[in-house]
């Protein structure tokens, strides 16, 4: 008969996992700055948002891409400061920049959404941290909640205008369907060296 001590955990860990599921910067951008970003994006060409591998029926949104030369150096500088601060406090990942531009995303009622997904992919650029900035006043739309999942239920994140949310790109997340109005957000991915 096996003894109880044979079932004891004999591992001895040197470190505990200190990576948070998410961090946020409340009021990172003013309502006026959010409107400025929306106006710049609206003057660019929209394309239909797709997924890696073109998975059908997971995403319904329109996107445009914003870069430093879109009169957005102020935005990139602010993002840099916030990203470095939050990474230092909550993730401590080895990161080096925003190598893909900023993705402006428009979700329209009655079904604009982005189903459960992760922002990283095999044989793609090494995305370490994902960022979502809430640009639209939450009084102007219904639905469109951003959920993060570390269990089956998930956690709804704030819809406050101007708030920046940052989370590891390997976290499962989704944008629930917008049922009234439209929701605009700005998404970015912080890249770095291979995880090891």
In angstroms, the Cα distances linking 83 to 40, 59, 188, 193 are 22, 27, 11, 16
Res. 56: pLDDT tops 80: no
**What is this structure's pTM?**
0.89
The HSE-up count of residue 150 (CA atoms within 13 Å, CB side) is 8
pLDDT of residue 164: 98
In this structure, the chain runs to a length of 196
3-state secondary structure at position 53:
coil
**With bands split at pLDDT 50, 70 and 90, how would you rate the model's confidence at 42?**
very high
What average pLDDT does range 175-185 have in this prediction? 97
Q: What pLDDT digit, counting tens, does each position of 97-121 carry?
A: 999 999 999 999 999 999 999 999 8
**With bands split at pLDDT 50, 70 and 90, how would you rate the model's confidence at 4?**
low
To 5 degrees, how large is the angle CA 46–CA 51–CA 54? 105
Highest mean pLDDT among 16-20, 111-115, 130-134: 130-134
**With bands split at pLDDT 50, 70 and 90, how would you rate the model's confidence at 10?**
confident
**With bands split at pLDDT 50, 70 and 90, how would you rate the model's confidence at 53?**
low
pLDDT of residue 22: 97
To 5 degrees, how large is the angle CA 81–CA 182–CA 41? 50
For the chain, domains (ranges, CATH) are: 20-192 (2.60.120.620)
pLDDT of residue 13: 81
């Amino acid at each position: 008969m096996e003894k109880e001590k044979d079932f004891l955990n004999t591992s001895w860990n040197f470190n505990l996992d200190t990576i948070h599921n998410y961090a946020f910067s409340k009021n990172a951008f003013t309502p006026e700055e959010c409107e400025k970003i929306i106006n710049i994006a609206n003057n660019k060409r929209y394309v239909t948002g797709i997924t890696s591998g073109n998975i059908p029926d997971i995403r319904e949104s329109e996107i445009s891409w914003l870069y430093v030369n879109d009169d957005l150096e102020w935005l990139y500088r602010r993002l840099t400061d916030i990203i470095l601060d939050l990474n230092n406090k909550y993730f401590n990942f080895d990161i080096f920049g925003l190598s893909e531009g900023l993705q402006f995303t428009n979700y329209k009622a009655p079904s604009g959404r982005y189903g459960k997904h992760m922002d990283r992919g095999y044989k793609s650029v090494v995305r370490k941290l994902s960022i979502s900035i809430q640009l639209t006043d939450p009084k102007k739309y219904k639905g469109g909640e951003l959920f993060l999942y570390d269990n089956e239920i998930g956690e709804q994140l704030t819809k406050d205008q101007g708030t920046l949310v940052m989370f590891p790109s390997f976290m499962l997340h989704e944008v629930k369907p917008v049922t009234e109005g439209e929701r605009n957000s700005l998404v970015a991915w912080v890249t770095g060296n291979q995880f090891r």
